Amino acid sequence: MKFDVIIIGGGLAGMTAATELQKSGLKCAVVAEGLSLHNTSRKEFAEAGGTLLAGDRVVSGKLSSGKLLSVRTEKLGDVELEAADFVLASGKYFSRGIVADMDKVYEPLFGLDVEYDADRSAWFDASFAAPQKFLEFGVKICNCHALKDGEEIINLFPAGEVLAGISCAQGDATDRIRSSAMDAVSAIRRK
């Protein structure tokens, strides 16, 4: 199966990017675990002719010389979903877009470069109400591109909470998430 853009994640960032891109004439597919999928945005995307792989999730991807060629999902098994561009909108810890274990923080799908503090004692503030550093961790970008081992992946665009610096606890989180999705959309359109 081949698309112009595959969007990984159906939350606010993923659906914003997907709907915009689909409406501008690109053939899009969203892979989304059901829970985060908002009914209104789902409907809008479907009406624009987008493909929705609901209740499924991306499990791996094929990277080659700085490009993501295809991804595989849990339900489609061996089927490779190819696209020219990919949006990574997989969220932070709760949706497992970012995973923390005892010693490190990582991006589980592609092993992207993640910005985090190696000193675990700095992750939290003792006061629940204070800003919490762990919420700021996330993948790094350069020119809207994801990075792996310091090198840009030129067709993979992270958006939303998976990004370093964007977190659910920020008062203007919705605006930041939308605007990061629009950045990814603009970058894809420019190509």
Partner 1 sequence: MPNKNEFDVIVIGGGITGAGTARDCAMRGLRVLLIERHDIATGATGRNHGLLHSGARYAVKDSESAEECIRENKILRRIAANCVEDTGGLFITLPEDEESGYGLDYQAKFLEACNKAGIEARAISPREAIEMEPSVNPSLIGAVVVPDGSVDPFRLCSANVTDAVLHGAKVLVYTEFLDFIREGDTILGVKVLDTRSGQTAEYRAAVTVNAAGIWGHGVAAKAGVNIGMYPAKGALLVFGHRVNNVVINRCRKSADGDILVPGDSVTVIGTTSTKVPFEECDHMEVTPEEVKLLLREGCALCPSLASTRILRAYAGVRPLVADDSDPTGRSISRGIVCLDHEARDGVKGFVSITGGKLMTYRLMAELATDAVCRKLGVNKSCTTAQTPLPGSMDGRIENVSKRFEGKPTAGQKGAAGRQGDMVGKILFETEADKQLVCECENVTLAEIKYAVRELGVSNLEDLRRRTRVGMGTCQGTLCIGKAAKALAEALGKPELAGKLAADYLDERWKGMRAVGWGDTLREMEFMQRVYKYQKPFSYDEV
Site residues for partner 1 per CB under 8 A = 92-94, 96, 99-102, 120, 123-124, 126-129, 132, 134-135, 167-171, 173
- Least separation, in Å, of the C-beta of 94 and partner 1? 5
Give residue for tokens 């990017």.
17
What are the tokens at 98? 């970012």
What are the tokens at 169? 């606890």
- Least separation, in Å, of the C-beta of 174 and partner 1? 9
- Least separation, in Å, of the C-beta of 100 and partner 1? 4
Give the whole-angstrom CA distance, residue 109 versus residue 90: 10
- Least separation, in Å, of the C-beta of 114 and partner 1? 14
* Amino acid occupying residue 26: L
Residue 158 C-beta-side C-alpha neighbours within 13 Å = 30
**Which residue's CB is nearer to partner 1, number 76 or number 100?**
100
**Which residue's CB is nearer to partner 1, number 129 or number 191?**
129
**Which residue's CB is nearer to partner 1, number 81 or number 135?**
135
Give the whole-angstrom CA distance, residue 137 versus residue 92: 9
